[in-house]
Each structure stands twice: as C-alpha cells, then as structure tokens.
Amino acid sequence: MISTTLVLVLLCAYCGKVATSCNPGKTTCVTEDLLHMIMRGTPNLKDDLERRPTFFASLKTSQTLSNIKDIVKFDDAKINVRGGYDSRTGIFTTKQNGIYIFSSTIMANGGGAVHFQLNKNNQFYTGGYAAKSTYGAHTVTSFIELRTGDKVYIKARSGGTDKVFGDHYSTFSGYLLSK
C-alpha cells in the first residue's frame, strides 16, 4: 500500500514536468501510459481478498467439554468465505495452501477453568487456559503453514468437566495471510 502510494506520488510529480511535453494532438502522454501499465500489473486486491479463505465463528450456547477428545463447536459462523469452517463439527478444513493466522478466545463458565488447545491435523499446536475465576478468558493466536485438506480446530486439553461460556463471548477465527 505504501509502495503504491509512493509510486503514484512520484508519477504525479513526474506528470507535472512531462505534461508540458505532451503533444496537443496526442490522447495520452508518457505518465498516463505509465499509470495504465501500473494498473494492469497490479492484481485486483479486492477480488483477491474476497477469494481468501476467512472465517469468524462464535459460540451461541455454552458447551461442556467432558472428554479430552471434545471439539468446541462454535455454532454461529458470522463470516465463512469459501466455506472452510463447519459449525456442525467446529473444524476448519483448508482449501488453499498458505500461511494462515488463527485466533481463539475461550471464556470459562460457572467459575471453573477451561484447558483448551488449538490442533492442526489431530496434533497439538498451541494451548490455552481460561483461569478459574468469574468469567476468566484466554486468547491464543497462531500462525500455521497449511496444505489443502489440513484441519484446524479448538478442543479440550484435559479430561475434566470444563464449561465454555457461550453468548458469543467465545470465538474462533482464521484467515489466509500469505499464499
């Protein structure tokens, strides 16, 4: 963004010097040609961003994690570009290779603690702990290199009875950062 702005500023400054050298009968001058070349060479950022896998989901209803295999099912997918997140399973499945950023905030419910982890393909990637307090919360953020078909999700880290607070206070999100 900054480099594009700098190029445009330089082009404007250059245009002030070159504009007088354009022939009156010509429809374009050198700076206009340069500007058209830059615009053709720059990919349409808006279209690129609209195609990147992106999701944001929150937990409407509180969920109890009573088994170490329990996955948090963030049941309200507010954004789900390219449909990679499945709110029925709580799993994001990659549809495009790249480096992704994931973030999850878990809020404890009922005065107990919540031990949780972010998994990549059934393997621990990073952990979190929402402290035993009135609505203790913890956020984990991770950069992960993924291949098509990889799975990322939030699951229980302990075998106890951990209660995750819903009402949209617990969230899970991901975004393709770099291809």
What tokens appear for 132 in the block?
């035993």
Phi, psi of 57 (to 5 degrees): -135, 145
Tell me the C-alpha distance between 35 and 11, whole Å. Answer: 8
Long-range contacts of 73-77 (CB under 8 A, 24+ apart): 74/154, 74/170, 74/171, 74/172, 76/168
Q: Is 135 helix (H, G, I), strand (E, B) or coil?
A: coil
pLDDT of residue 135: 79
In the sheet with 151-156, reading across from the earlier edge strand, the strands are 85-86, 91-93, 151-156, 114-120, 123-130
Tell me the C-alpha distance between 124 and 117, whole Å. Answer: 7
Topology annotation, domain 50-178: Jelly Rolls (2.60.120)
Lowest mean pLDDT among 32-36, 68-72, 124-128: 32-36
Indicate whether 20 pLDDT > 60: no
Give the start-to-end residue ranges of the domains of the chain: 2-42, 50-178
Nearest residue to 140 (alpha-carbon basis) of 98, 108, 100, 172: 172
- Mean pLDDT for 7-12 is 42
User: What would the pLDDT profile of 139-177 be if each residue is shown by its tens digit?
Assistant: 999 999 999 999 999 999 987 889 999 999 999 999 999
What tokens appear for 136 in the block?
């203790």
Q: What DSSP state is assigned to residue 72?
A: P
User: What would the pLDDT profile of 104-132 be if each residue is shown by its tens digit?
Assistant: 999 998 778 999 999 999 999 999 999 88
Tell me the C-alpha distance between 80 and 98, whole Å. Answer: 17
pLDDT of residue 30: 59
Q: Residues 98, 176: contact at Cβ < 8 Å? A: yes
